Amino acid sequence: EYKNVFGKIAHHNIDKALLVAGKSSPKIGGGTIDEPMRLVFGDRAVYEYKDKKIPVGEIAIETAKSWFREKLRFVDPLKHVIYQNEIKPGSPELMDIFDREVIGANDTSASVGYAPLTETEKIVINIEKHLNSKKFKEKFPECGEDIKVMAYRQKRNLTLTIAMAFVDRFIDNEKKYFTRKKEIRLAISDFISKNNLNFDKVNIDINTLDDPKRGEEGMYLTVLGTSAEGADCGQVGRGNRVNGVIALNRPMSTEAAAGKNPISHVGKIYNVLSHEIADKVYKEIPGIHEVYIWLCSQIGKPIDKPLIASAQLVLKPGVDIKNIKRNIESVIEEELKNIYKFTDELSQGKYPVW
């Protein structure tokens, strides 16, 4: 909308959004929503530029409604969510950054990206995507969209702990809940076996708080398929990193990429770009076992000229860094040279940010 009205993307950082949990009473056969969730939009965005105005709040709300309709089957965005717009006008000083011929960073920020994903990281991503796929939902409609996959690898043994919200309307009795949970576990095991993973043993645990002796209280039931309906709040930046996982044994960027502007906010740009550069270095230059790319900006300085652009490498046996150093530098230089093409693609949603 900024491009349509202003001819360019204006200053906006709406990365302080908060989803406040509602209240619900799930029960076997179908419960009720007693209080809707509340989605609070926060931070800054330009509402007016050169006498032209944009309804920022309305756009944010309609976008959220569209997302709920697309991603959560049983959430009615008109009935189950209240929207609260706390987005304030943007800073004139930061708006000036967008008027400059050379775009300057609007923050002093550092990011890190890496490649490749480990086998464990890949299976976590693939399992979540599989469980939330249309095909899986058709077979297991009681499987809600609110899913968390935790993986722990000990040598070649893998333990998967999966939290999965069950939709209560599809559960007729306690026996069906635990029967379907077993069937889902077998389906996950079958999916893993088809991925030809190199693990000696894979343990799968689902909803480990469950207790058959406690009746409804011993089952993870929800009305809408998400714990946000009555238990857990959510906030931008508290979830997955831009590569789709939270890997505690890897260096991670602390910036929340979602909601930041894709033109000058290096907390978003470098966050995604560092992973893209790492992936390109790993794929194009032989002899690399792992690569980490570090980028750091200074506010106001051109985004294509970071203060730091550094590569940290784990090389394969017999590889000499002297033989590939210049190739790595060339990849980094080329990606920074084309950063404005990258930010344009980023603004079009071509790269995931969680």
pLDDT per residue as tens digits for the range 126-166? 999 999 999 999 999 999 999 999 999 999 999 999 999 99
Report pLDDT for 92. 59
Residue 111 has pLDDT above 90, yes or no: yes
Contact between residue 109 and residue 128 where contact means Cβ atoms under 8 Å apart: no
Contact between residue 302 and residue 50 where contact means Cβ atoms under 8 Å apart: no
- Considering only CA atoms, give the Rg of the chain: 23
The single residue listed with the structure tokens 């890496």 is 114
262 pLDDT band, cuts 50/70/90, is very high
Q: Cα(145)–Cα(225) distance, rounded to whole angstroms?
A: 6
Residue 344 has pLDDT above 90, yes or no: yes
3-state secondary structure of 11: coil
* Tokens found for residue 148: 């968390």
3-state secondary structure of 255: coil
* Tokens found for residue 120: 């464990």
pLDDT per residue as tens digits for the range 166-201? 999 999 999 999 999 999 999 999 999 998 788 999
Q: CA neighbours within 13 Å on the CB side: how many for 255?
A: 27
Residue 93 has pLDDT above 70, yes or no: no
Average predicted confidence (pLDDT) for the chain? 95
Q: What is the pTM of this model?
A: 0.92
The predicted model gives 280-292 an average pLDDT of: 98
Report pLDDT for 305. 97
| Domains of the chain and any CATH numbers | 2-95 (3.30.300.10), 110-116+239-347 (3.30.300.280), 119-235 (3.30.300.340)
Report pLDDT for 91. 66
Contact between residue 132 and residue 83 where contact means Cβ atoms under 8 Å apart: no
Residue 210 has pLDDT above 70, yes or no: yes
Residue 98 has pLDDT above 70, yes or no: no
Q: Cα(18)–Cα(143) distance, rounded to whole angstroms?
A: 25
The predicted model gives 32-57 an average pLDDT of: 94
3-state secondary structure of 40: strand
Q: Cα(223)–Cα(280) distance, rounded to whole angstroms?
A: 44
49 pLDDT band, cuts 50/70/90, is confident
Largest CA-CA distance found in the chain, in angstroms, rounded? 67
Contact between residue 219 and residue 172 where contact means Cβ atoms under 8 Å apart: no
* 164: β partners: 147
Residues 6+ apart with CB under 8 A from 265: 13, 105, 106, 107
